[in-house]
Amino acid sequence: MSAAPGTLRRTATHPWRLGLPRRVFSQVLLMQLAVAAGVAVLATGLFLAPLGSQLDDQAMRRALAIAQSTAADPGIAAAVISAAPAPDGPVQEAAERIRRATGAEYVVVLDRQGIRRSHPSPERIGRHVSTDPARALAGEEVMEIDDGTLGRSARGKVPLRDADGAIVGAVSVGIAYEGVRDQLVGAIPGLLAYAGGALAAGALAAYLISRRIQRQTRDLAFSDISGLLAEREAVLHSIREGVVALDRDGRVRLVNDEAQRLLGLGPDATGRSLDELLGSGRTTDVLAGRVTGTDLLAVSGPRVLVANRMPTEDGGAVATLRDRTELERLGRELDSTRGLIDALRAQDHEHANRLHTLLGLLELGLHEEATAYITEVSGGHRATAEEITERVRDPLLAALLVGKATVAAERGVSLRLAERTLLPARLVDPGGLVTIVGNLVDNALDALAGTADARVEVELLAEDTTVVLRVRDTGPGVPPGRLEEIFTEGWSTKSPQSHGGRRGLGLAMVRRLAERQGGSARAAAADGGGAEFCVVLPEALR
C-alpha cells in the first residue's frame, strides 16, 4: 500500500522520511504556511532585537537622570565635604530617601578618593567602590551596563560639585537589569499575540489562494502538470495539423511546427498579431474569427487550407489548419476527368445520332447524301482538333482544350481559339497553366449557362519567355466594383450544392498560381459585353 499524503513512508535509502503531499493544493498551502510562519518569526525577531536595546537605553538614561537630580542637591555635596563616612550620616539618609522614592536599585555617593558615603548595604559604607569612578570624577557623565557588588545593572554616573563648581565626588545610580529584562519578557506575549494574529490571517489567505489554485489546476499534482505540458508540446509539434493559439487581443501565443510551415511563419511569431504576421485577407479573417463557420477554406500562398476555430474560456481561441492542397489538386483533376467523361458521353450520344442518321440515308438508298454527311461530320470535328493541336503545341493543354470544346458544344456554347493564338511546346510548368486555363474556361461556361449566342474565346500568346492568356465570354460580365473582389477566396456566384467544398476557390487559385510565378491575373469588361480575364506569366517558357 502507498503511504497517504503527508505521512511517514519507508524507502530503501531512508528508513523513514516525511513524504510531501502530491496535490498542488496541499503543497501550495504548506509552502505558503511555511512562508507566513517564517515571516512572523522573522518579524518578531526583528522587533525584539531593537526592543532590548531600547529598554537598555531607557534604563541607563533613567539612572543618569536620577544621578543628575541627586548631584544637584547642594546639601549632599556639603555633607561629603564636612562629614565622615557613616551608616547613619546625612549623605546615607539623603541617598536612601532618593533610592526609595525613584525605585532605583542603589544610589551611591562617593568622595574624590572613591570611598562610598552611601550604599543600600550600610556595611559597605566607607569602602572603596567596586567599579572605576575616574571618568565621573574627571567631570564626565557616564551611562553603561556593568556588573557591580549588587549584580548587573544599568548605571548612570555624574560628578558631584560643591557651591563653587569644584568636583568633590560623584554619584552613581543603578537600575536593576532584571527589571529591564522583565520589561522585555513582558512585551513578548503581546508581540506573540500580534504575530499569531498575522500568522492566522496569512494561513486564511494561503488557504483561499490554494483553493483557487486547486480549482484552476483541477487538483492535479505538480508532476502531473509538468507531464501534461511536456505531452502537450510533444503532441502539438508532432501532429500533421497546424495549431495556432490566440489570446483575447488576437496575438499569437502558441504556434506549432506545421502551422509555421503552412502559414509561412518564422520562429518569432509568438506575441505578434495576425494582421502583422499574415496581412489582410481571408486567412487572417478566418483565424481571427471575423468569418465564422466550420471547415472554412482559405488560401495561403500556393496552399489550400481548411480552418476551424474554437473559442477558449479566457477570451482567446485555438485554430486548427489542414492542408488540402493535394486534395484540391486531385479534385481539380477529377473535375477534368469528369469533363472528359462528359465529353465522351456527349460524343457517344452524338455519334449514335449520326449513325442512326447515316443508317437511315443508306436504307433510303441516298448513297451520295450519306457520303457527303460523313465527310461533313468527320471533317468538322477533325478541323477543331487539328486547329487546337496546330496552335497549341503542348499536349496536355491541347487535350484540355479539345475536351472543353466538346463539353462546351454539348452545353450549346461555342468554344474557339483566337486568331492570334500560338503557344510553343516548351512550357516550364504545363500543369499550372492547365489548372489556370481549366478554371477560367469552367467559370466562363458556368457564366454562359442559359444565355443565347453563348461564345467563349481563348487566346494564348508567347512573347519571348512570357505567356499571355486571355479568356473572353459573352455572359453577363462582372460588376465594375467587384473586379478585384472576385479573386478573393470564398467569393462566388454559384450555389454551394453544385460545387461542393471548392466553391469560391477557382479564381483565387488562378491569381495565386500566377503570382507564384511572378505574374498577375486581372478581370475586365470584354468588348461587346461579357467578361475578359487576362493572366500574364513571365518566365513561363524555356
| Chain centroid offset of residue 346 CA | 60
pLDDT at 400 over 60: yes
Window from 48-52, 90-94, 242-246 with minimum mean pLDDT: 48-52
Q: How far apart are CA 85 and CA 79, in angstroms?
A: 10
Q: How far apart are CA 22 and CA 220, in angstroms?
A: 8
DSSP helix/strand/coil, 446: helix
Average pLDDT over residues 313-319: 86
The pLDDT of residue 470: 93
Find where cell 537622570 sits.
Answer: 65
Residue 71 CB-density burial (10 A; 0-12 exposed, 13-18 middle, 19+ buried): buried
83-114 residue pLDDT tens = 888 888 898 899 999 989 988 888 999 999 98
Q: What is the DSSP string of 251-264?
A: BEEEE-HHHHHHHT
- Fold of the 15-220 domain: Beta-Lactamase (3.30.450)
331-361 residue pLDDT tens = 656 665 665 676 566 666 666 776 777 777 7
Name which of 314, 198, 300, 184 is nearest 248 in CA terms.
314
| Chain centroid offset of residue 67 CA | 72
- pTM comes to 0.43
**Domain spans, the chain:** 15-220, 239-323, 327-537
Question: Percent of the chain scored above 90 by pLDDT?
Answer: 8
Give the bridge partners for 243, in sequence order: 320
SS3 track for 298-331: EEECCEEEEEEEEECCCCCEEEEEEECHHHHHHH
CB 19 within 8 A of CB 8: yes
What class is the 327-537 domain? alpha beta
Give the bridge partners for 318, in sequence order: 245, 310
pLDDT at 505 over 50: yes
The pLDDT of residue 329: 61
Residue 451, CA distances (Å) to 38, 420, 455 in order: 89, 26, 10
Q: How far apart are CA 499 and CA 123, in angstroms?
A: 125
Indicate the pLDDT class of residue 319, thresholds 50, 70 and 90. confident
pLDDT at 492 over 80: no
Q: How far apart are CA 147 and CA 187, in angstroms?
A: 25
Question: Percent of the chain scored above 70 by pLDDT?
Answer: 71
**Amino acid sitting at position 411:** R
pLDDT at 218 over 80: no
Average pLDDT over residues 479-489: 79
Q: Quick check: do 239-323 and 327-537 share a fold?
A: no
Q: How far apart are CA 26 and CA 211, in angstroms?
A: 9
Does domain 239-323 fall into CATH 3.30.360.10? no
For residue 25, the surrounding DSSP H or E stretch is helix 24-71
Q: Roughly how many angstroms between the first and final C-alpha of the chain, as a whole number? A: 78
7-29 residue pLDDT tens = 344 444 444 444 555 566 566 66
DSSP helix/strand/coil, 346: helix
pLDDT at 190 over 70: no
Indicate the pLDDT class of residue 536, thresholds 50, 70 and 90. very high
SS3 track for 365-425: CCHHHHHHHHHHHHHHHHHHHHHHHHHECCHHHHHHHHHHHHHHHHCCCEEEECCCCEECC
413-447 residue pLDDT tens = 888 898 899 999 888 888 888 888 888 998 888 88
Handedness of CA 54, 59, 60, 61 (dihedral sign): positive
Residue 379 CB partners (closer than 8 Å, separation 6+): none
Q: How far apart are CA 376 and CA 214, in angstroms?
A: 88
